[in-house]
Structure 1
Amino acid sequence: MEKPHQGFWGLWNISFGFFGIQIGFALQNANVSRIFQSLGTSVDDLAFLWIAAPLTGLLVQPVIGHYSDRTWGRLGRRRPYFLAGAMLATIGLLAMPNAPVLWVAAALLWMLDGSLNISMEPFRAFVGDMLGSRQRTAGYAFQTGFIGAGAVVGSLAPIILTDVFRVANVAPAGGIPPSVQYGFYIGALALFFAVLWTVLTTEEYSPAQMAAFEDADAVEHSHGGSAISTTGARLAPLWIAMGAIVIAAVAQFGLDKPMYLLGGGLVAFGVALLISAALVRSGNGDNVLSQIVGDLTTMPTTMKQLALVQFFSWSALFIMWIYTTPIVTQHVFGTTDTASAAYNQGANWVGVLFAVYNGVATIWAFVLPSLAAKIGRRDTHIIGLVCGAAGFASFLLVRDQYVLIGSMVLIGIAWASILTMPYAILSGALPQDKLGVYMGLFNIFIVLPQLIVSSVMGEVVRTFFPGQAIWAMLIAAAVMLMAAAAMLRVPKRA
């Protein structure tokens, strides 16, 4: 039995909550570096403070995916998590621009990003739950459209408040400008009510219906958690050894302290493999740790191929999110003084640039289904990634704020494809009863590169490009091209 065809308003209601979630992410991405710098952080330390985002996503998304697969109640399967995350994220958005000191802002970033991830993760699985294979490219394109639209609103909020409503855009040293504060307040309300719209206007399929629908879909099944007793035990020493090497290298060569977190994470994963294997061998394998680790080590082939693509793609994106503000304010607006009017004008322009690439993504998302139908999903994604690489590389040549709009158009094409095509390909290769956990595990290959970038980019920029963070964009361009090359491993028919 195939899932019912969804019309325009069905697709709208399924994904409208993502509009609000992305407003939250856009406010965070465009303004958190500004908030940290306003509270006294140097540009070299920005990557370390941003480490909260990937760590929370790494921990939260697989767990939420696992439990949402097993949840069924009055609000259904995914919607309870939409609503809970939205409520927590609303509180985080209201509090973030009022942080009195740096450590409070860093703690609030942990809370905000974790809450946004609680809401976001089930939305990815929700599209797969609600749509048949023939509508999934359109479904994820619709979701990408809302992501882009929400990001435009979130990115432009401070500059609109400044230019249209004359809200002050500067604050005394150590303070957050009112334009940023009010932008976060508006974003908090938009997020909550957008998610509430999806919760109230959609009705999820029952477990029995989902089981019947799965029979109509061709999926790659994994072996599940049982394989962890052998596979995990063999691989655990390797992960622990790699983590120990990283930790020893940091101590020996005086590398950036955040790299301790990378080494510790590798060790922790190895230990998790050992614990999971022991639990399975003892007959206690039905626990969240063993199930998640088992699913990770036995994931379908298509997911493994796309994982490498995601790793490179999101490495490039995270570099952009961290360094665009200091790059534009220094090289286009000519200042590094965070209390100056020029700096805040440049920071607002970054919001405009982010709105451009998200606006382009909103439009390009609706081109993707027809393009994918003609040349295939794989080649459609390769084109998008190459466009993104060109956009990043152009930052090294451009010194005019308006010409940078062209750079962001190229990045917007890549962004639309990154948010659409991997999920459209992946959702058709996963079993319905594990769609949530696999979408959460897929997020590991989004947040792992962010964790690595947060750990090492500060050291890279400080060592090789002191005072010239613009060269980080060349690294982003190269990494995006690597993503395009990795995409060639995915079968053309995918």
Structure 2
Amino acid sequence: MQNKPQLSFWQIWNVSFGFLGVQFGFALQNANVSRILSDLGADLHSLSYFWILAPLMGLIVQPIVGSASDRTWNRVGRRKPYILGGAIVSAIAMFLMPNAPLFVTFMMPMLFGIMMFAIMDASFNVCFQPFRALVSDMVPDKQRNIGYSVQTLLINIGAIFGSILPFVLTNVVGLENTAQAGEVAPSVVWAFYIGGTVLLGSVLWTVIRTKEYKPKDFYAYKGMDAEEVAKEQQQKLPLVKRLANFFGLMKTMPDTMKQLAVVQFFSWFALYVMWVYTNPAIAQQIWGLETKWFDHDYLATFEKVPEHIVQAKGAAGDWVGILFAAYSLFAAVFAVFLSKLADKFGRKMVYGLSLLAGAVGYTSFGFFGPSEAVAVNLGITSVTVPQAAVYLIIPMIGVGIAWAAILAMPYAILAGSLPADKTGVYMGIFNFTIAAPQIVSGLTAGLILSTVFDNEAVNIIILAGVCMLAAAIAVIFVKDKTE
């Protein structure tokens, strides 16, 4: 068996550079879809149901794309055709989603917004899985930690700029950040236009600058016969047989994948709660808005929502972008050291302690409340926000550390236990461990929020912290075969 050639830092950088743009768009989605759907008429407790579309798309798309990319070898490459196709569709959906009110002649704006959300997230997932498999394909085992750490760094650079973009467009460029019911704020609309453009441009960089191995070379590095693998993959099996093989793979998945699934369940349950409910949580907890201002039926009794409520929601929505950018920044910084820490102390220890930091970050949300307004200089502009909003950046340190580890460590641990000819499909199956907990969270979080926490959204963020603690404990039981 030949060894894969060592890659230079910039070759590793180019392999994952497109993920920067994909995450730029994904961060815009995470920070603003709840805001858009609320503006279009969604109730607070129903947001988690709409967000189920995101993991559902991942659950359906990633295994299919993973299996298909394992079998694809053409002039463009093995993984790159799917990355490029997903990026094109993602960009189109990003251009269309914030324009839902323009399509009122054809369908309800809410329905159009949900459709674009589903298409956008599905196409993001078409990009996600091949990007992760591309690192496994291209990077030799000795560089695997740095390969996924660089990918994590680029993901978080994209997330930083995607998260703060609406804030910048409001406070630096001067676009309006407020919207009446049934409309979308201009700053959000233009942020999605820019995000779609950045996504497509960065993916083109990876597609052009990265040359995937030919089948003969790739399988030689894995100690396999390329012709034998090609014959096996060219077999046309009946649908029933293919489904049986797929579920057979799920039954025989490596023990490491099963153990990581428990960690993934609790960590991604927590992340889903954060993405859906941080916006209303800080609007209520920090800006002091009562829960009734998130009730669609109550808002419908007003001919026009009071201006101070609209302004508070807009300010809170922009600050969510700052907080999400903050945890992405801390994750990007931590990603620089993640590879060396994992090499020195072991992937499991770094992974578990990182999740523990995230648990502390989430639970500390409950210590902050309404406070006096202060002027804050952010370098690019100065804004006036409640002082507690500034203090919320501190918990984001722990969240960022956890996020960096979640993006890198499971894949670094898993890659060593997967067969070379089925890496893509197993990576796709592994996405079940990301999608399933989010679906469970989507089905239960709204109910928990309304019945247990009386729509006080900060309490469900604290619950996310408890889940992240459970994930940290579950890491203890994971076996890393390469350590």
Q: TM-score range by the shorter chain?
A: 0.7 to 0.9
Does 1:443 find its partner at 2:431? Answer: yes
Aligned with residue 472 of structure 2, among 484, 489, 494: 484
Aligned with residue 352 of structure 2, among 347, 366, 382: 382
Per-residue deviation at 1:460? 1.0
Does 1:78 find its partner at 2:74? Answer: no
State the alpha-carbon separation in 1 of the partners of residues 355 and 111 from structure 2.
Answer: 36
Q: Specify the code of the residue in structure 1 equivalent to 2:135.
A: V
2:77 partner SS = coil
Quote the residue 1:475 is aligned against: 463
Aligned with residue 454 of structure 2, among 442, 451, 466: 466
Q: Deviations over 1:212-254 (max 9, x none)?
A: 11139xxxxxxx99xxxxxxxxxxxxxxxxxxxxxxxxxxxxx
Quote the residue 2:401 is aligned against: 413
Quote the residue 1:309 is aligned against: 263
Quote the residue 1:359 is aligned against: 329
Per-residue deviation at 1:173? 2.7
The CA RMSD over aligned residues, in Å, is 1.8
1:396 partner SS = helix
**Number of residue pairs aligned between Structure 1 and Structure 2:** 431
Alignment map for 1:285-304 (pairs within 5 Å): 287-304=241-258
Aligned with residue 132 of structure 2, among 101, 109, 124: 124
Quote the residue 1:162 is aligned against: 170
Alignment map for 1:197-236 (pairs within 5 Å): 197-215=205-223
State the alpha-carbon separation in 1 of the partners of residues 463 and 164 from structure 2.
Answer: 27
Compared CA separation, residues 352 and 206, structure 1 to 2 (3 A): same
Q: Specify the code of the residue in structure 1 equivalent to 2:267.
A: S
Does 1:455 find its partner at 2:439? Answer: no
Alignment map for 1:172-211 (pairs within 5 Å): 172-211=180-219
Q: Specify the code of the residue in structure 2 equivalent to 1:392.
A: Y
CA contact under 8 A between 1:285 and 1:291: conserved in structure 2?
no
Quote the residue 1:5 is aligned against: 6
Per-residue deviation at 1:286? 8.1
Gaps spanning 5+ residues in structure 2: where? 102-108, 225-231, 295-304, 370-387
Per-residue deviation at 1:291? 2.9
CA contact under 8 A between 1:389 and 1:477: conserved in structure 2?
yes
CA contact under 8 A between 2:39 and 2:180: conserved in structure 1?
no
Does 1:44 find its partner at 2:45? Answer: yes
Identity over aligned residues, as a percent? 45
Alignment map for 1:131-142 (pairs within 5 Å): 131-142=139-150
1:334 partner SS = coil
Per-residue deviation at 1:335? 2.1
State the alpha-carbon separation in 1 of the partners of residues 168 and 333 from structure 2.
Answer: 22
State the alpha-carbon separation in 1 of the partners of residues 244 and 90 from structure 2.
Answer: 29
Q: Specify the code of the residue in structure 1 equivalent to 2:394.
A: G
Alignment map for 1:56-135 (pairs within 5 Å): 56-100=57-101, 101-135=109-143
CA contact under 8 A between 1:360 and 1:409: conserved in structure 2?
yes
Q: Specify the code of the residue in structure 1 equivalent to 2:331.
A: A
State the alpha-carbon separation in 1 of the partners of residues 240 and 335 from structure 2.
Answer: 40
CA contact under 8 A between 1:386 and 1:480: conserved in structure 2?
yes
CA contact under 8 A between 1:62 and 1:292: conserved in structure 2?
no
State the alpha-carbon separation in 2 of the partners of residues 470 and 333 from structure 1.
Answer: 12
Aligned with residue 280 of structure 2, among 326, 329, 334: 326
Per-residue deviation at 1:172? 2.9
State the alpha-carbon separation in 2 of the partners of residues 2 and 33 from structure 1.
Answer: 47
Quote the residue 1:21 is aligned against: 22
State the alpha-carbon separation in 1 of the partners of residues 217 and 245 from structure 2.
Answer: 24
Q: Deviations over 1:349-381 (max 9, x none)?
A: 000000000111111011111111111010010
State the alpha-carbon separation in 2 of the partners of residues 286 and 45 from structure 1.
Answer: 37
State the alpha-carbon separation in 2 of the partners of residues 142 and 30 from structure 1.
Answer: 23
Of the structure 1 ranges 40-49 and 348-357, higher mean CA displacement relative to structure 2 is found in 40-49
State the alpha-carbon separation in 1 of the partners of residues 172 and 243 from structure 2.
Answer: 51
**Which TM-score applies when normalising by structure 2?**
0.87
2:478 partner SS = coil
State the alpha-carbon separation in 1 of the partners of residues 67 and 407 from structure 2.
Answer: 22
Q: Specify the code of the residue in structure 2 equivalent to 1:145.
A: L
Q: Deviations over 1:163-219 (max 9, x none)?
A: 110011112332100000000000000000100110000111111112111139xxx
Quote the residue 2:152 is aligned against: 144
State the alpha-carbon separation in 1 of the partners of residues 395 and 149 from structure 2.
Answer: 22
State the alpha-carbon separation in 1 of the partners of residues 82 and 389 from structure 2.
Answer: 40
State the alpha-carbon separation in 2 of the partners of residues 429 and 393 from structure 1.
Answer: 34
Q: Deviations over 1:369-399 (max 9, x none)?
A: 1111111010010110000000000011123
Quote the residue 1:244 is aligned against: none
1:170 partner SS = coil
Per-residue deviation at 1:284? 4.6
Aligned with residue 402 of structure 1, among 386, 390, 394: 390
Per-residue deviation at 1:18? 0.1
CA contact under 8 A between 1:63 and 1:288: conserved in structure 2?
no
1:110 partner SS = helix
State the alpha-carbon separation in 2 of the partners of residues 369 and 56 from structure 1.
Answer: 31
1:488 partner SS = helix
Gaps spanning 5+ residues in structure 1: where? 217-223, 226-282
Q: Specify the code of the residue in structure 1 equivalent to 2:122.
A: G
State the alpha-carbon separation in 2 of the partners of residues 288 and 441 from structure 1.
Answer: 14
